[in-house]
Structure 1
Amino acid sequence: MKVRAVLASMSLLAASALAACAPPSDDNGSGGGDDNGSGSAADAASATSAEDLGGLDALIEAAQEEGELNVIALPPDWANYGEIISTFEEKYDITVNSAQPDAASQDEINAANQLKGTDRAPDVFDLGQAVALANIPMYAPYKVETWDDIPDEFKAEDGAWVNDYGGFMSIGYDSSKVPDVTEVEDLLGPDFKGKVALNGDPTQAGAAFNGVVMASVANGGSVEDIEPGVQFFSDLKEAGNFLPVDPTPATIESGQTPVVIDWDYLNAAQAEKIDTWEVVVPANAPIAGYYFQAINADAPHPAAARLWQEFLYSDEGQNLWLKGGARPVRAEAMADAGTIDEELYSALPEVEGDPIVVTNEQTEAMASYLADNWAKAIG
């Protein structure tokens, strides 16, 4: 695999804060409560920590009584979610029902609303920033046992949401089908007609949203002025280069989407399969971002949902995300403790330039602009 882009370590991503939008918690510790919880699934729905149920063993017992966990929008090739799911199933003897693996963040929220009150509703969410921040009332606050390892800027104070893993926006391309790419502007060239795909709709999907941010910064805009990014995609469509197809591993491997704007860890995964697949993070637009993890307040399997969070934020779960090329949110603390996979961690190269992380306030403003202008630009 030849990855031209250089990527940032966890410490660089932490340089730009994500302000917590949720109201403050009544406690200052790990969200614990009494140690005399029964550990039942019924009690789990209101538990804000494993301690509320009597500890992690009691939570495991309650989750195994439920026996199932519903997840949504988690493709197996996305940040190693395939192995994460199978490891969780084997470790706890809990069946994971994975629905709509190629769905967008907004689809997760839509499904939760449509299936509310049924046993098919999603138990947990893995959301892009814009969608996550727009739906905070839907989340059940919960603080995992490793809560203190997570930097304050990457979590809501009350535990309503927590950043889980991150990466950089990138351009992946098949060098046997198009010329080398070094910057976003290259994609407007005549050799890219009908070849450039964006991963999703930026009004609904985090990857696509940040792809527009990358195009904006690369074209003289900023994270506070996304108009140049929208104009770039309008120009891309006018040139006949924009391909209105949601890229997947299947479309990439078949050659249907030879150029893909997506997170670096997703594009890098394709380089493992296609010898001619290259990945570049534009040096003038190093857009870094995290996804948001949350529990559905109406989760049909509340204990399993909370155990899933404990697993994801454990050393084991964090290293599994790292294995998928993503940067786990506890990476720095794990490196200090000697619990991170050193080989995988040291293989993450550094990025050219200072990472640009979009704040919550900037995200909300840009989401509003996109809602009003994206369809007009590429429709």
Structure 2
Amino acid sequence: MLAFEVNKDLIKNIPADWPDLLKPEYKDQVALDGDPRSSNESIQAVFASGLSSTGGEIDKAADAGLQFFKQLNLSGNFVPASGGASTLALGTTPIVIRWDYLALGDRDTLKGNPEVAVVVPKTGIVAGVYVQAISAYAPHPNAAKLWMEHLYSDESQLAWLNGYCHPARFDDLVKRNVVPPALMEKLPPADNYAKALFPTLEQQGKAKEIITQQWDSVVGVNVTTK
């Protein structure tokens, strides 16, 4: 899930949604985690901002996202540098848009220096997936099937969640009260995840083509990477 990773020592009013990032108080403070001409994470961030702008219209989200980042850049709020734990802590990029599991991991790594808020925006909630597959030519396909069964068991799903990767069976685990309360307290509100859009491969492909090809002409800024 895409989220805002925020340095709470520097940002006192935590942004709650995409339009908040355009406020003058966030001048020189908002960054992506990579170059939107090549990074899938950043491409999806641009798409998500547009999904928010259009009220959920998927086909218009890529173009709207480019316009959103054009505004963000013209307002002086956009920092054209790839953000992460180190730049967040240094204050170079006090707000970084990135996958929530990376942001939550940074929060643990930084151990309060600085304090980190991880916010799933109210609108334009976009999620990505990692997938597993079994080769049709595997010499022992039944062994692979058993491994798959283990991956989707409660035990393994909770192991993923402990690393802040949102497991496929998260809603089921929450419904059955399987997730330890201490772990739930470390996560953003669960209702945000229930509203997430998982773009299809076709939708991702269309958005990628628009964003990567038009970033330079619409937004007109290079993002330096780590």
Match in the other structure for 2:7: 174
* Equivalent in 81, 84, 95 of residue 248 of structure 1: 84
The 5-angstrom pairing of residues 49-198 of structure 1 reads: 168-180=1-13, 181-198=15-32
* Equivalent in 78, 89, 106 of residue 270 of structure 1: 106
Post-superposition CA distance 1:258-314 (Å, at most 9, x none): 101112222223333235322222212222221345799xxxxxx9xx98xx48936
Match in the other structure for 1:138: none
| Pair 232,341 (structure 1): closer, same or farther in 2 beyond 3 Å | same
Q: Secondary structure at the match of 1:358?
A: coil
Post-superposition CA distance 1:20-74 (Å, at most 9, x none): xxxxxxxxxxxxxxxxxxxxxxxxxxxxxxxxxxxxxxxxxxxxxxxxxxxxxxx
Q: Distance in 2 between matches of 1:172 and 1:373?
A: 26
> Is 1:169–1:288's contact at 8 Å kept on the other side of the alignment?
yes
> Counterpart of 2:103 in structure 1: which amino acid?
N
Q: Distance in 1 between matches of 2:29 and 2:171?
A: 38
Does residue 200 of the first structure (1) align with residue 34 of the second (2)? yes
Number of aligned residue pairs: give it.
203
Structure 1: gaps (5+ residues): 1-167, 297-302
Match in the other structure for 2:44: 210
Match in the other structure for 1:286: 125
Post-superposition CA distance 1:196-228 (Å, at most 9, x none): 110112343232122112210221263221111
Q: Secondary structure at the match of 2:190?
A: coil
Q: Secondary structure at the match of 1:257?
A: coil
Q: Secondary structure at the match of 1:197?
A: strand
| Pair 317,242 (structure 1): closer, same or farther in 2 beyond 3 Å | same
> Counterpart of 1:259 in structure 2: which amino acid?
I
By percentage of residues, which structure has more helix? 2
Deviation, 1:346, is 4.8
Q: Distance in 2 between matches of 1:206 and 1:344?
A: 32
| Pair 182,329 (structure 1): closer, same or farther in 2 beyond 3 Å | closer
> Is 1:288–1:357's contact at 8 Å kept on the other side of the alignment?
yes
User: What TM-score, normalized to structure 2?
Assistant: 0.73
Moved more, 344-353 or 202-211: 344-353
Q: Distance in 2 between matches of 1:375 and 1:261?
A: 19
| Pair 333,219 (structure 1): closer, same or farther in 2 beyond 3 Å | closer
> Is 1:233–1:378's contact at 8 Å kept on the other side of the alignment?
no
| Pair 206,320 (structure 1): closer, same or farther in 2 beyond 3 Å | farther
RCO comparison, higher one (Cα < 8 Å, 6+): 2
Match in the other structure for 1:366: 207
> Counterpart of 2:214 in structure 1: which amino acid?
N
By percentage of residues, which structure has more strand? 1
* Equivalent in 151, 159, 171 of residue 313 of structure 1: 151
> Counterpart of 2:119 in structure 1: which amino acid?
V
Structure with the greater alpha carbon radius of gyration: 1
Match in the other structure for 1:136: none
* Equivalent in 215, 223, 243 of residue 58 of structure 2: 223
Q: Distance in 2 between matches of 1:288 and 1:343?
A: 23
Match in the other structure for 1:354: 195
Q: Secondary structure at the match of 2:204?
A: helix
RMSD, aligned α-carbons:
3.4
| Pair 378,284 (structure 1): closer, same or farther in 2 beyond 3 Å | same
* Equivalent in 151, 160, 164 of residue 325 of structure 1: 164
Post-superposition CA distance 1:311-359 (Å, at most 9, x none): 8936565433211222123556778999x65456755532247322212
Structure 2: gaps (5+ residues): 222-226
The 5-angstrom pairing of residues 331-342 of structure 1 reads: 331=170, 342=180
Q: Distance in 2 between matches of 1:276 and 1:337?
A: 32
Q: Distance in 2 between matches of 1:290 and 1:325?
A: 13
Q: Distance in 1 between matches of 2:123 and 2:175?
A: 31
* Equivalent in 178, 200, 216 of residue 375 of structure 1: 216
